[in-house]
A and B are shown apart, each in its own frame.
Chain A
Amino acid sequence: MLTRHASRLCRFAAAAAIALGAATAPAAAGGKFIFANSSAYDTLDPHAVFDVGRVASRINLYDGLMRWFDNPPHLEPWLAETVDISDDGLTYTFTLRDAKFHDGSPVEASDVVYSIDRILAMKKGAYSLFEGTVAPGSTQAPDAKTVVFNLSKPSAIFLATVPEIHVLNAELVKANEADGDLGTAWLSKNDAGSGSFQLRRYDPAIGWQATRFEDHFFGWDMVDNPLDEIEFRTVVEINSRVLGLMNGDFHGTDGYLPQDQVKRLRTSDHVVVQEEESMRIFYSIIHNGRPPMNDINFRKALSYAFDYDGFIDNILSGSVARNPVPLPNNMWGSPKDAGGYTLDLEKAKEHLAMVEGDVREITLGALAGYGQTEQAAALLQNGLNKIGVKTRIVAETWPVASGKMRDEEQMYDLLFLWKSTYYADPNNWLGEMYACEQIGARNNSWYCNEEVDRLLSEARVSTDQDLRRANYEKANRLLMEDAAGIFVYNTKWFGPFNKNARGVRFSPIGNGQEMRWVSME
């Protein structure tokens, strides 16, 4: 038995205490923190959604067995005290800590079993991470404190995805089930978690408010003057969010604002902008399954026709870093000397001339309301115009675009968008974007290359870190060589916070929205 103990957690706790200042008795008034969120919380069910826009309800109201911290992200036991992994990589045994749900009942192994089976039954949110790896009913609770996951096949990424198993209070949810709906209706507006904050009020049109959960298992000793109340309010308009921060109405908002707004925020006395290198790449999906994009020469022509420098240096004022491969530069497995494409219309023309068959008008997809995607599409259109390729830009909302992405016929020829971090493993990008088995689900490029697929499948199950690294580096190079997509940049996070806020901890997974570490002076 390979044993990994949670002694790391204790070290981490101590380190955090140091980082946050000497642990003192919590002072009386902790204050309230209002976060202006760009998208609406249409549901609070932690198993129904799996995106960045609504991450705050999951990590503040709920706990998982493991959790990601800081940047570069490291995985630590959270509700679990220890985790044992069997030699064959198929059995994961977690021992739980003493923890309580918000209603005072203890967190038990049966709650974890209920939660994973609920995810598998709902087939929503993070379900695709566990599909095929964890079979429904295979997870066991030999006693109240022990959970055993029996995987169907070895998976190098299982542990990395465990934080998404948000643990629900099984009894409470079952008591509120209606017509066998697994409590989805009730959970969409109520909380059955053990997280650091306890839901007080929720309105899909406004957002949600929560109060500090005094009995949280991790305790509050290490945070000097922790927050008493948090509010995540939906504020769609960028200008309203920025103005609200500048006049002190809001204390934080998302860290991916347009650079012009970041500049503006920096001039405010109320705001401090924190900077971190994130893991969120901007690229264009290319529909590899449809002519003329199934011709490598056409894809190369596309890659040579985009003005990378103009986009990064001018439009984004150099606020991001060029990322020539699908994997973020700062993630292991990313080749350091990849080179990558540059704007070169001569080469683009050469490749275009080698394309077999006719080149028709190409549809460039962009996400309505996300100015950057439209600007990138316009720049590419500009380049393609010059080499004689006709294009049409279609900007549609995210719900529309994400629906089309799953349909081979409806998918745009190209689509500019971001790929964020859901778990810090190269599989989050490469394995989902380009593995053959993910076609139509998360591989929206209809790209299937035998060699790349072999490297990715091997890396997905292997526990040999060196082999995984080598495979991912090679896959990155092959994908770039194949011009499978137009890979543009890796994002920097510019988190604007009220100057009185202390202790914000940024991680590419939670984007600085885990509020238990924060205090207001």
Chain B
Amino acid sequence: MMETARFLLRKLAADRTAALGALLILLLIVVAIAAPVLSTHPQDVAEFNPPGRLQPPSAEHYFGTDRMGSDVYSRILFGARITITIAVIAIGVSVLIGVPVGLVAGYYRNWASDALMRISDIFLAVPQIVLAIAIAQTLGPSIENVILALSATYWPFWARLVYAETRSALNETYVEASIALGASPGRVMLFHVLPNISSSLIVRTTIGMGGTILTAATLGFLGLGPPAPSPEWGRTIAESREFLPEAWWYATAPGLAIFLVVMGFNLFGDGLRDILDPRTRRSSDG
């Protein structure tokens, strides 16, 4: 285990873009945890100061103030918590649903397996963002419902992936051998198939985080995310539209935050893929 970790770190250090991605993700995690310490006006998440609204960036307010006179910098830091919460839970739930579905559907070849995959096909047939908007709109705006909408629309991607990987793993000799030795289906799936497909799973999950954060911000922008005065990034951008272009900092700060975080996950995911999944390695590294 330690060997693998060391190998990964060495590989990552050699890949600068992936290292940059890892750094950005690390930054997001630190910011989310330490938001109360790092922010200059932590009370501004729930308290307002109307006389000081829409002030440009200054030493007092790094990213200026918003329409309620709150410090944009502090709110962005607290917004990171919401972003991480949404992304981690939504992806976690998607993996918890998608992986077992994919494993079972891939291992067995019967009507149930077909039914599971057709259900995931139905979800995949509708553009993911459209489905998420429909679900979030129906359930009403809140963090919980955004997570629900994202989980409900993301799990089929994992189901598809695991299904395909499982099908190909079943032809491998080590699986045939364990079946021949009398291993139960559960044992084969959990201890033989799953560990051998975990690398593509990790890559997919990392890149999926970026997409999830972007979709969550989109929902927030459309007013389907957590309601005011939540510092969620997408909602902050939506609020700022009224004040563009004069209050440029108001939209720029959360926009930059989303950009950096999504880029971080994508770069890191790409790097991981190069290391763990040589089949789809970027051609430049060839």
Contacts and interface: CB of A to CB of B under 8 A. Distances in A.
Given A260-B54, A382-B47, A377 B242 contact: no
Nearest to B142: A394
Interface string A149-177: 00000000000000000000000000000
B229 A385 contact: no
A258 interface: yes
A396 B229 contact: no
A395 B227 contact: yes
Contacts of A375: 67-68, 228
A311 B228 CA distance: 16
A396 B244 contact: no
B51 A374 contact: no
A264 B246 contact: yes
A261 interface: yes
Given A260-B54, A379-B48, A374 B241 contact: no
Interface in B98-153: 140-141
B50 A379 contact: yes
Interface residues of A, number: 31
Given A264-B246, A378-B48, A238 B229 contact: no
Given A260-B243, A375-B68, A396-B140, A366 B50 contact: no
Nearest to A238: B242
A371 interface: yes
Contacts of A260: 54, 242-243, 246-247
A315 interface: yes
Nearest to A394: B227
Interface in A372-387: 374-375, 377-379, 381-382, 385
A381 B45 CA distance: 12
Contact of B241 (A238, A366, A385): A238
A314 B53 contact: yes
A371 B239 contact: yes
A98 interface: no
A237 interface: yes
Interface in B226-243: 227-229, 239, 241-243
Q: Most chain-A Cβ atoms within 10 A of its Cβ — which of B50, B53, B67?
A: B50
A20 interface: no
A310 interface: yes
A381 B229 contact: yes
Interface residues of B, number: 23
A315 B67 contact: yes
Contacts of A258: 242-243
A366 B54 contact: no
Given A374-B228, A396-B141, A310 B244 contact: no
A307 interface: yes
Contacts of B246: 260, 264
B46 interface: yes
B210 interface: no
A369 B222 CA distance: 9
Interface string A365-409: 010110100110111011001000000111111000000000000
Interface string A248-285: 00000000001011001000000000000000000000
A393 B228 contact: yes
B135 to A, nearest CB: 15
A319 to B, nearest CB: 14
Contacts of B211: none
A366 B228 contact: yes
B67 A394 contact: no
Contact of B48 (A238, A261, A369, A382): A382
A369 B223 contact: yes
Contacts of B48: 310, 378-379, 382
Contacts of B255: none
Q: Most chain-B Cβ atoms within 10 A of its Cβ — which of A378, A393, A396, A397?
A: A378
A394 B227 CA distance: 6
B51 A314 contact: yes
B242 A310 contact: no
A307 B242 contact: no
B56 interface: no
A483 to B, nearest CB: 23
B223 A394 contact: no
B57 interface: no
B41 to A, nearest CB: 14
Q: Most chain-B Cβ atoms within 10 A of its Cβ — which of A238, A260, A369, A397?
A: A260
Contact of A394 (B54, B141, B242, B247): B141
B42 interface: no
14 contacts: A238-B242, A261-B242, A310-B51, A313-B51, A314-B50, A314-B53, A368-B223, A375-B228, A378-B68, A378-B229, A379-B68, A393-B227, A394-B141, A394-B227
Given A310-B51, A315-B53, 15 more contacts: A258-B243, A260-B242, A264-B246, A311-B50, A314-B53, A315-B50, A371-B67, A375-B67, A375-B68, A381-B46, A381-B229, A393-B228, A394-B227, A395-B223, A395-B227
Shortest beta-carbon contacts, A-B, top 9: A314-B50, A310-B50, A374-B228, A368-B223, A378-B229, A393-B227, A395-B227, A314-B51, A258-B242
